[in-house]
Structure 1
Amino acid sequence: MAKQENSMLNPELLIELANNKMPYGKYQGWTLYKLPEPYLAWYKQKGFPAGKMGILLATLYEIKVNGLEYLLHPLVKK
């Protein structure tokens, strides 16, 4: 778990959340930071996927439930 917690503090993850797209599922093609909070809460309950996508979604969940989405807005590439 310590490795995942350290990964969640990586500033590059924030850039990825602001610009990468969801690769699969109901919200395929959506920019990650735009995913709705209920969808992320569903993943939290079900279990985030393994690997990098799981880390990204778990990080985004924490950002959203703590009202910190504004931190991602300046990182969006125009």
Structure 2
Amino acid sequence: MAQKFKIKKGDTVKIIAGDDKGKTGEVIQMLPKKSQVIVKGCKVAKKAIKPSDKNPDGGFVNKEMPIDISNVAKVEG
């Protein structure tokens, strides 16, 4: 059975632990099976992209990575 969380997609949260501690952002995706969230603009990593039809040159793209739900707190208001 899936856990119930007080945070949901679209909520504004504050990062309370980790490299991005103190930043605030909007939850853009929930990963309930892993107890993680993806927050817009937080925990951004550079990912290498292989050349493809959509992106013929390949290169790098900045991508938000999941953060454990215990490391975020909902911002009231």
Query: Fold-level match, TM-score > 0.5?
Result: no
TM-score (norm 1): 0.30
Higher-RCO chain (CA-CA 8 Å, sequence separation at least 6): 1
TM-score (norm 2): 0.30
The answer to which structure has the higher strand fraction is 2
Task: Indicate the structure (1 or 2) with the bigger Cα radius of gyration.
Answer: 2
